[in-house]
Amino acid sequence: RKEVEQDPGPFNVPEGATVAFNCTYSNSASQSFFWYRQDCRKEPKLLMSVYSSGNEDGRFTAQLNRASQYISLLIRDSKLSDSATYLCVVNPDTDKLIFGTGTRLQVFP
Amino acid sequence: DVKVTQSSRYLVKRTGEKVFLECVQDMDHENMFWYRQDPGLGLRLIYFSYDVKMKEKGDIPEGYSVSREKKERFSLILESASTNQTSMYLCASSSTSGGETQYFGPGTRLLVL
C-alpha cells in the first residue's frame, strides 16, 4: 500500500463549481499534513497546511480526519486559474515529506 | 522571497556520461533535498542534507551521489547516466526553524539518450 494515496483524476469542473479531493495516508503516527499545488511544467508550491481543527483560506478549506487517516481539500467557486495538480503531502514523523502522486483539476469556462 | 535556482532547465546527455545538477538557495536554509518526478510515481526522494558536508539517503539513492560543500549549494551527481534516469529533477530547501515547508526550484528535465 502506498504511503499517500490520491485519486489521479482528472476532475473536470465548470467555473463556479465546488470540488473536493481526498487523500489517504497509511502511517497513523503522521504529524503534519499539507496540500501543495503544481502547475503544468512548474515546481510544486505550498498551498496550505492542514490542521486538526480544519482550516480555511479564502475559497480553500482543508480538513483532517485522523481516525480514518484521510485529508481533504475543498475548493469553492472554482476559477480557471485553479487548474493544476494538487499534491497531498504528509510528514510521517520523520524529517522527510511524503508526496502523493497528485490529483489533476481542470476548470473549464 | 525564497529563491531556489537550478543550473539547467533542460539537459540532454548520453548513456555513461557523468552528469552534475546544481541547486542554490538564497535563504540560508539548513535542509536541502533532491527529488525526481515521474508520471504516475510522483515525487521520490533521492538524497537530502541537513547541513554542510552531511547527506542522507532517500528512497531511491542508487545511481546517484550528492555533494554539499557550502550551505547554499547542493549538487546531485549521476556517476554514469542511464536511460532510466531520464526524468524531471527537483531540488528543494527548508528551514529547520521554519517548519517543514519545502521550497522548490524550477526543475531540470534530463533526457538520457
- The pLDDT tens digits for A68-99 are 999 999 999 999 999 999 999 998 766 688 99
Backbone angles phi, psi at B31, to 5 degrees: -100, 135
Q: Which three cell numbers stand for residue A91?
A: 510528514
- Mutate which: B43, B51, B89, B93, vs A, most A CBs within 10 A: B43
| A46 contact residues in B (CB cutoff 8 A) | 101-103
- The pLDDT tens digits for B59-105 are 999 999 999 999 999 999 999 999 999 999 999 999 876 567 899 99
**pLDDT band for position B17 (cuts 50, 70, 90):** very high
The residues, ordered by sequence, that sit 6+ positions from B39 with a Cβ below 8 Å of its Cβ are none
Q: Do B41 and A101 touch (CB under 8 A)?
A: yes
What average pLDDT is seen over chain B? 93
In angstroms, the Cα distances linking A97 to A10, A44, B55 are 24, 13, 16
Closest to B93 measured CA to CA, from B34, B43, B45: B34
Closest to B25 measured CA to CA, from B110, B99, B108, B102: B102
